[in-house]
C-alpha cells in the first residue's frame, strides 16, 4: 500500500473513533480563530461606524434619513438625496447591464464561433479588472463629454416629455454615473451568466431543438428558466457593487445635493459623498453625519443582500417544483 492510499484511508475514517492528534487540535484552533477573526472584525467595524455617527444620530434622529440637503455651515444635513442617488444609479445600471450581460453570455456560449470565444471571454473578464479610479478618469475626460454631445441631445429631444430625460448641460451627471456603473457591473453579471448557461445540460437543449424550436425559442424556453435563479444572484452581486462603488461615481456624478428626477442633472450617492467629503469635513457634526451616511449604506447593502437571497431562494423553490 502506498502512502497516498494510506492518507486517503485516513481521511475517510470518521473523526469520532480517532485518537486525538495535537496537529488536528491545532488545525481546528487556527481555522476557528481565522473564522472568529472575520466575525470580530465585522463587529468592530459596525461598532466603530455607529459610534462615529452617534453625535449626528442624537442631533438629527431618524429624520436624517429622509431630509434633503448638506449644509455644514448651518448644521442642516440629511441623507435623502444620497439615498435617492444611490437607488437611482444602482437600479439604472442594473437595468442597462442585465440585458447587455445576457447578450454577451448567450453570444459566448451559443452563438460565437469557437475561435473567438476564448479571446472575447478573456476580454470581458479584463473589463472587470480595470481599477475603478481609471474608469472614473476616463468617465470625466471621454465618456462625460461624449454623452453630453452625442447621447443626451437625442434622448432629450426624443423622450424629453419624460422627466428623466430633461435639459442637459454637463457631462457630470447621474446618467454618466449610471453608464460608468453599467460598465463596471456588466462583466460580473456576464461572466456568472456565462457559467450558468454553460451548465445547462446539453440533452435539454438538444431535446428542445429536436422538437423543432428555433434557437431563440430554445434559449427562452430552456436556458433562461434553467439559469433564472443564478442570474438573479448575479444581478444582486452587480447591484451590491453598484451600491458600494465610490471613487468612479465621485468622479463623474458632479456632487449635487438635491433630488432631481432628471438623470442629466448632477447628484450624489451615499458612497461617493463619504469618499469626497470624509478627508475634509469641517465640523464634528459634519463628520458624524458622514458616519451616519455610512450606517445607512451598511443597512441599505444588508437589506439589498437579504432581499436578494430571498428572491434567489424563491426562484429556486419555484424552479424545483417545475422541474
Chain residues binding other proteins by CB under 8 A are 3, 6-7, 10, 21, 23-24, 26-27, 30, 69-74, 76, 140-141, 144-145, 148, 167, 169-172, 250-251, 254-258, 260, 265-266, 268, 276-277, 279-284, 286
Q: How far is CA 278 from CA 49, 104, 288, in A?
A: 13, 38, 10
Shortest Å distance, C-beta 271 to other proteins: 14
Q: Bridge-partner residues for 70, per DSSP?
A: 77
Main-chain phi, psi angles of 70, to 5 degrees: -145, 95
Shortest Å distance, C-beta 72 to other proteins: 5
CB-nearer residue toward other proteins: 121 or 176: 176
CB-nearer residue toward other proteins: 22 or 115: 22
CB-nearer residue toward other proteins: 5 or 203: 5
| CB-CB neighbours of 244 under 10 Å | 18
Q: How far apart are CA 212 and CA 218, in angstroms?
A: 9
CB-nearer residue toward other proteins: 89 or 172: 172
Of the candidates 240, 256, 257, the one whose C-alpha atom is nearest the C-alpha of residue 78 is 257
Shortest Å distance, C-beta 254 to other proteins: 4
Shortest Å distance, C-beta 152 to other proteins: 12
Shortest Å distance, C-beta 50 to other proteins: 21
Burial 284-314 (b: 16+ CB within 10 A, else e): ebbbbbbbbbbbbbbebbeebeeebeeebee
Of the candidates 42, 98, 87, the one whose C-alpha atom is nearest the C-alpha of residue 233 is 98
CB-nearer residue toward other proteins: 208 or 286: 286
CB-nearer residue toward other proteins: 26 or 45: 26
Amino acid at each position: 500500500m502506498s502512502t497516498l492510499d494510506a492518507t486517503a484511508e485516513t481521511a475517510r475514517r470518521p473523526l469520532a473513533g480517532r485518537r486525538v492528534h495535537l496537529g488536528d487540535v491545532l488545525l481546528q484552533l487556527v481555522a476557528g480563530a481565522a473564522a472568529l477573526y472575520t466575525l470580530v472584525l465585522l463587529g468592530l467595524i459596525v461598532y466603530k461606524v455607529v459610534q462615529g455617527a452617534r453625535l449626528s444620530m442624537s442631533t438629527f434622529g431618524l429624520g436624517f434619513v429622509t431630509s434633503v440637503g448638506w449644509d455644514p455651515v448651518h448644521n442642516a444635513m440629511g441623507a435623502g438625496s444620497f439615498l435617492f442617488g444611490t437607488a437611482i444609479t444602482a437600479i439604472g445600471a442594473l437595468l442597462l447591464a442585465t440585458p447587455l450581460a445576457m447578450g454577451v453570455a448567450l453570444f459566448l456560449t451559443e452563438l460565437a464561433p469557437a475561435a473567438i470565444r476564448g479571446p472575447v471571454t478573456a476580454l470581458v473578464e479584463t473589463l472587470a479588472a480595470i481599477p475603478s479610479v481609471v474608469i472614473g478618469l476616463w468617465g470625466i475626460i471621454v465618456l462625460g463629454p461624449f454623452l453630453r454631445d452625442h447621447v443626451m441631445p437625442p434622448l432629450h429631444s426624443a423622450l424629453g416629455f419624460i422627466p428623466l430625460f430633461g435639459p442637459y448641460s454637463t457631462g457630470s451627471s447621474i446618467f454618466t454615473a449610471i453608464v460608468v456603473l453599467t460598465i463596471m457591473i456588466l462583466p460580473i453579471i456576464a461572466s456568472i451568466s456565462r457559467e450558468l448557461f454553460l451548465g445547462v445540460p446539453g440533452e435539454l437543449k438538444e431535446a428542445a431543438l429536436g422538437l423543432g424550436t428555433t434557437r431563440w425559442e430554445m434559449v427562452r424556453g430552456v436556458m433562461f428558466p434553467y439559469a433564472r435563479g443564478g442570474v438573479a444572484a448575479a444581478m444582486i452581486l452587480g447591484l451590491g457593487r453598484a451600491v458600494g462603488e465610490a471613487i468612479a461615481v465621485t468622479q463623474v456624478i458632479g456632487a449635487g445635493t438635491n433630488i432631481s428626477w432628471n438623470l442629466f442633472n448632477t447628484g450624489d450617492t451615499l458612497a461617493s459623498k463619504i469618499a469626497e467629503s470624509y478627508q475634509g469635513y469641517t465640523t464634528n457634526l459634519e463628520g458624524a453625519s458622514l458616519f451616519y451616511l455610512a450606517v445607512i449604506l451598511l443597512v441599505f447593502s444588508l437589506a439589498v443582500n437579504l432581499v436578494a437571497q430571498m428572491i434567489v431562494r424563491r426562484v429556486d423553490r419555484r424552479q424545483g417544483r417545475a422541474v
